[in-house]
Amino acid sequence: MSAAQVPAPSPAEGRILFAGTPATAVPSLDALVAAGFTVAAVLTRPDAPVGRKKVLTPSPVAARAAELGLPVLHASRLTGEPGRETLERIAALELDAAAVVAYGALVPAAGLALPRLGWVNLHFSLLPAYRGAAPVQHAVIQQETQTGACVFQLEEGLDTGPVFSRIVRDLAPGETAGDVLAELALSGADLLSRTLTDLLAGDATAEPQRGEPTFAPKLDQADGFIDPARPAAEVAARINGTTPEPGAWAWLDDPTAPVRVKLAGAVAEEAPGAAAGAAPGDLVRDRRTVHLQCADSAVRLVQVQPAGKKPMNAADWARGLPAGARFRSAEEETP
């Protein structure tokens, strides 16, 4: 039989590498194992300090791989001498393909060439929109009405490769980035499995990305600051877009010094009648809700976490506040 007549491997015969790190990548690993792929190894980032005591902890993908009995390769990057050693180990696996879901490091050209069919990446946006590390968070912050997920061929550029498949998901006001990402992690896992099956069978076709790209760099703590002097829709979108990571927060006025509180979830809506005359930053409370007055309207807060305490219902938190409690704007003096 000639090489051209050799049948394409089935999922069970195809040897793949899975590269991923956070919890959102775990459903994809599970889906590939359930579909019958031979996962020759799992590539993930090294154990990292977690919690106040900074205990070294395996990544969620590493922990799941151990439960599944899969070999694990740890690497923080695939360049330099440590990266070269990791690539040598990957080359020895004789892979048909590699699948990536939020691994957290770039794959150099030398690595891209190792699997017979290259690397495919599950990305949580409708490419070329929101290339980068935090696509769902930025989509929510920018008040997009739709997002989705794409499986594309990995290239040296940042999320630039041609797209094999995609799914579209509507975004509803009030949804947090965490909720959306958790759902896309599940639907995207199925998309990745089906695309990889087609790729091994020779039935997958990738099309170049079309349109003007936008970018979604990693968010840091400063991106979660909530400024009540901004319009309500913008404030609600930033709270939801930074929930749970990197976390939304605000400065609560205090007689001695402002106190930092964390926020999770918000809905842009008019405050009750007690809001008459309220200024940006004022907290308008009734028996069941607490609203933050913004530049043009208000947002209803869903959950608040006071410093050093556990998250709690926002209305319950507000009952313990003194009269006149408010959040400071960006223009006011803060620590």
pLDDT digits (tens, 9 = 90+) for 58-71: 999 999 999 999 99
Q: What is the pLDDT of residue 257?
A: 80
Q: What is the mean pLDDT of residues 170-178?
A: 95
- Cβ distance 324 to 278 under 8 Å? no
Instruction: Tell me the mean pLDDT in the region 108-114.
Output: 96
The pLDDT of residue 3 is above 70: no
pLDDT at 50: 82
User: Could you tell me which residues come within 8 angstroms of residue 322 by beta carbon, excluding any fewer than 6 positions away?
Assistant: none
Q: How far apart are CA 148 and CA 309, in angstroms?
A: 35
Q: How many CA atoms lie within 13 A of 317 on its CB side?
A: 23
What average pLDDT does range 292-299 have in this prediction?
A: 94
Judge whether 96 and 120 are in contact, CB under 8 Å.
no
List strand residue ranges (DSSP E) for 188-279, in order.
248-252, 259-268
Closest CA to 301 of 271, 335, 259: 271
Say which DSSP state 13 is in.
T
For the ranges 8-17, 204-213, 269-278, the maximum mean pLDDT occurs at: 204-213
* Average pLDDT across the chain, whole number: 93
Task: Work out the end-to-end distance of the chain between its first and last CA atoms, rounded to an integer number of angstroms.
Answer: 74
- Whether the CA torsion 8, 13, 17, 18 is positive or negative: it is positive
- Gyration radius (Cα) of the chain, Å: 23
- Report residue 227 as tokens: 């400024």
Q: How far apart are CA 119 and CA 153, in angstroms?
A: 6
Residues near 211 by Cβ (< 8 Å), separated by ≥ 6? 128, 129
Give the tens place of pLDDT for each residue, 187-239.
999 999 999 999 999 999 999 999 999 999 999 999 999 999 999 999 999 99
* 41 pLDDT more than 80: yes
Rounded CA-CA distance 327/323 in Å is 13
Write out the two tokens for 265: 């979830």
Q: pLDDT band at residue 277, thresholds of 50, 70 and 90? A: confident
pLDDT tens across 45-101, in order? 998 888 778 888 999 999 999 999 999 999 999 998 889 999 999 999 999 999 999
Res 274 pLDDT > 70: no
- Euclidean distance between CA atoms 125 and 159, whole angstroms: 10
Q: What percent of the chain has pLDDT over 90?
A: 81
Region of poorest pLDDT, from 7-11, 186-190, 293-297, 309-313: 7-11
